[in-house]
């Protein structure tokens, strides 16, 4: 189990980015959260098997239909086992 922290920049708020991220994460069995940030970016923190986390990362590089992803930063870490499901954070 690993943990990934993904920061997504561009037109990523108000385009169903969080909704679609949560849907995909739940389908992959990943736990964590997705959150809109004050600077217009989206933050994803997730835990699960490394290959599923990289699948979530690949999604974040393009986003849903109306998103315009300009840049994605990520950091892979050891799991902390602190999430129960995958939710929105506010």
Confidence category of residue 56, pLDDT binned at 50, 70, 90: very high
Strands 31-36, 86-88: pairing kind: parallel
Tell me the pLDDT tens digit for each residue of 10-40: 999 999 999 999 999 999 999 999 999 999 9
CB crowding 8-44: b at 16 or more within 10 Å, else e: bbbebbebebbebbbebbeebebbbbbebeeeebbeb
Confidence category of residue 86, pLDDT binned at 50, 70, 90: very high
Question: Which of 3, 18, 39, 51 is the catalytic position?
Answer: 18
**In the chain, what are the domain boundaries?**
2-75
Confidence category of residue 55, pLDDT binned at 50, 70, 90: very high
- The mean pLDDT value for 66-78 works out to 97
The CATH class for the domain spanning 2-75 reads alpha beta
The angle, 0 to 180 degrees and rounded to 10, between the axes of the packed helices 17-28 and 50-60 is: 160
- 3 noted as active-site residue: no
Query: Are the C-beta atoms of residues 32 and 46 closer than 8 Å to each other?
Result: yes
- 81 noted as active-site residue: no
């Amino acid at each position: 189990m690993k943990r990934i922290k993904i920061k997504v920049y561009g037109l990523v708020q108000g385009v169903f980015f969080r909704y679609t991220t949560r849907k995909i994460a739940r389908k992959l069995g990943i736990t964590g959260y997705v959150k809109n940030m004050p600077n217009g970016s989206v933050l994803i923190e997730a835990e699960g098997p490394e290959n599923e986390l990289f699948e979530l990362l690949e999604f974040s590089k393009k986003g849903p239909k109306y998103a315009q992803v300009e840049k994605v930063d990520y950091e892979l870490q050891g799991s902390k086992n602190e999430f129960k499901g995958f939710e929105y954070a506010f």
